Amino acid sequence: MEKVDIIGGGIAGLALAGILDPGRFDVTIHEQRPELPTVGTTLAMWPAAQQALSELGILGAVRSRGAMIKAGALRRPSGEPLLSMEGKGLLGVSRPELLRLLDMAVPRSVRREMGRVDHLPGAAGLTVGADGVNSIVRRNIRGRQSSAKPTPFLAVRGVIPGTPLPQDIGEYWGRGQIFGLAPAGGGSNWYASFRSDLGSERIEVAEALEVTRSRYANHSRAVQDVLATATPENSLAQRIWISPPLARYAQGNAVLVGDAAHAMTPNLGRGACEALIDAVTLGKLLNELPKEKALAAYGRKRVMRTQLLRIASSLMGSVALAQGAQPLRDVLLKQVGKRVSGARERAETSK
């Protein structure tokens, strides 16, 4: 049996534990969180992530508990659409529900160690850093220069009862701030992001909600109604952190997956998806190849793609959260929206 220590029991860590061959690997998950979270927002699962869920045997369960994201729009704060968008088979599922299903997919042979990991396990086996943006594993193998960096942006989000109206779904792009609204399983998923010096570590959710209500007071009635319904019990607030660029994810007997490898801003909605794909890709390679060859193949498959997505997400955030250039951005989006709408009408007419 080959020893594998997975540091972190989040999306990437649970997915890896669920895909590794229990007949070949002696797996331990190290997690400082005593229980799975009960509050969290909806994650959009792109097709490649859905394939990873299928490999884990839980895609059907995720679909039954999630909601398809079919359409939306980029909007002005008033709600006026700038650019209509159609979902490309996106599946929305709440983070707590996804974690619960991933946890159920972990074989009983996998051991669970509760508590904070300050020192990496011995070098005899493989250590997997699935411990998020502030990864201890990354710092141990890549040094302090690999420490995560805080962005100027705060993320406040949650799920409230009731389904949003179709004409309200989408992202509202204002001057240096975003608000998103989409259907969730049994409710409405919302999120807000804006520049704030409220804090970098622990942020009081109630205080963050008050700041958010003030910042979005000039937005549409739909946005204000959502924020009026949100409570500290069904909301989260945190500083957005990102990881520095990395040229490789494996070193010696350690390897990084998920946010530990490529924590990115949430503007493309790809963080959780890429964490799942990382874990399933790495697990399948370890099942099929000797460790050294598996780690090398994992790097070839995942480093370039995820680093490019990290950069693209940051660029998208710069556009979405533009301040001085916001009027020009909106004019360009409106023009693009007209062209897209015209192309759709011509396509329908030609059928």
Q: SS3 string of 312-346?
A: HHHHHHHHHCCCCCHHHHHHHHHHHHHHHHHHHHH
pLDDT of residue 124: 74
Determine the residue type at 51.
Q
pLDDT of residue 277: 98
* pLDDT < 50: residue spans in the chain: 343-345, 347
What's the token pair of residue 162?
Answer: 């009731």
pLDDT of residue 347: 47
293 Cβ neighbours under 8 A, 6+ residues apart = 285
Coil vs helix vs strand at 22: coil
What's the token pair of residue 98?
Answer: 């996804």
Coil vs helix vs strand at 201: coil
pLDDT of residue 340: 52
Residue 202 burial (C-beta neighbours within 10 Å; 0-12, 13-18, 19+) = exposed
- Counting every residue written for the chain, the total comes to 351
Per-residue burial over 213-237, b = 16 or more CB atoms within 10 Å of its CB, e = otherwise = bebbeebbebbeebbeebeeebbbb
**Token match 């020893």: residue?**
3
Coil vs helix vs strand at 73: strand
pLDDT of residue 123: 64
